[in-house]
Amino acid sequence: MIIRLLLVWPFLSILIGAIVYVIELRRVDDLVKDLAVSESRPFTYDNVDYLNSDEPAHRLLLRERNEEHIRMGHFIAVALYNRARQKVNEVIRPGFDKDLIGWHKQDLIAADGMRYKSFYLDRKISVHVLVPLINGSEEIVGYFEGVYLTDRETMSAIQARTTASLVQVVVIILATAITLYPIIMALNKDLLRLSVDLSQANIGMLKVLGSAVAKRDSDTNAHNYRVTLYAIRFAEAIGLGADSIRSLIKGAFLHDVGKIGVSDTILLKPGKLNGKEFAIMKTHPRHGEDIIGRYAWLKDALSVVRYHHEKFDGSGYGAGLKGEDIPLQARLFAIVDVFDALTSRRPYKEPLPFVAAMRIIRQESGAHFDPRLINIFEGIAWDLFEKIGSVADAAVEMELDALVEKYFNTSKTDNVQYDQFRKNL
């Protein structure tokens, strides 16, 4: 959170600072324009009576006043026009280009009202102004045009004001971020608590629904717990990522949820199913997809629920997938599901010894199962069987609960991806 706030701080500082800078520039323009207009007023009022006179003495007087104004004020160029917009005279401060007014006129003389335009000259803000000259009868008798150049002190004050505004923005945003930090953290704690509660509720729902199906099938939760634990340990052995393991856990808990749609007559039959009965049994992956497919949190479990009866050679059922078209979680789960079915008691069979079960698993390599996964499973199967398949159900449930807590409530996520699995192979 601190890192995020520190990243947001300069971003907002630059964004808001740019806005403030633009606003300040407009204020500076208005300030300099007001200074220019204010300085031009006394001068323009003194010259109103002589603008439209052809007397040489009057023309000379106007020029002398212009030159005096240039020397005493901040205007570096002034020009006077009569009511016909004809230039009466023009004075440029020594050292500046004689065409200074012409360069920045921008057709201001075409307007009757006051006009101005800002620009930079010698790194100082300048304003080109046009002020109509009005007599006592409120008639326009001429125009004053000038280029106003701010002095060094005014520019320093403007720069100091702009800098202070930008610094103020940066400080205010930093103070706001510091103030918001404890508030955001408090809200995050509440959100985290609610998220944990929701996660625990979802996990509880997984266990309840999975257990309900398992009890209906074999009057025990043990198969569901063991096969889920087998699947997790197998996935860890091949380097599967945490996100994929979470999907696998959901799918393992609910892999047979579709059996809700299969009648007890078929589901609990002690003997071998006939062709019609087996055809009905093969519909349970599709029923499982229908049941969990509408719940967003469970959609990633579909890779196991829908495809765990597919076979590597394409002879399985569900969707008739083959080889690596079958999702990795489903290929992995198929191995541990069959392994546990072989080594555990069912209503229709007694458990097989470990060696006999592994012989069957090995024989199905390349047909039912992914041979690369079988190679890895053979190396860990006995250890898994000793720790999971031959211990009390209560111990299995405790270890499973610890692993579910690890993968669903941990703050650290393992970023190992599918390609890591392929590298391990």
User: What CA–CA distance (Å, rounded) separates 286 from 302?
Assistant: 10
User: Mean pLDDT over residues 236-254, rounded?
Assistant: 93
We find that the CATH architecture of domain 2-166 is: 2-Layer Sandwich (3.30)
Residue whose tokens read 């320093």: 156
pLDDT value at position 170? Answer: 83
Query: Order of strands across the sheet with 75-82?
Result: 87-92, 75-82, 140-149, 124-134, 115-121
DSSP-assigned states of every residue in 163-188 = HHHHHHHHHHHHHHHHHHHHHHHHHH
- Percent of the chain past pLDDT 90, that is, above it, reads 27
Fold of 198-424: Hypothetical protein af1432 (1.10.3210)
Does 422 have pLDDT greater than 80? no
Among the listed residues 356, 345, 332, 365, the one whose alpha carbon sits nearest the alpha carbon of residue 241: 332
> Per-residue pLDDT averaged across 137-164, rounded?
78
Give pLDDT, residue 285. Answer: 92
Note whether 206 and 320 are within 8 A (CB): no
The pLDDT assigned to 347 comes to: 64
For residue range 79-103, what is the model confidence (pLDDT) as tens digits?
888 877 788 888 888 877 777 666 4
* pLDDT 10s digits, 395-415: 888 898 889 888 887 444 443
User: In angstroms, how far is CA 235 from the centroid of its own chain?
Assistant: 31
Q: Where are the domains of the chain?
A: 2-166, 198-424
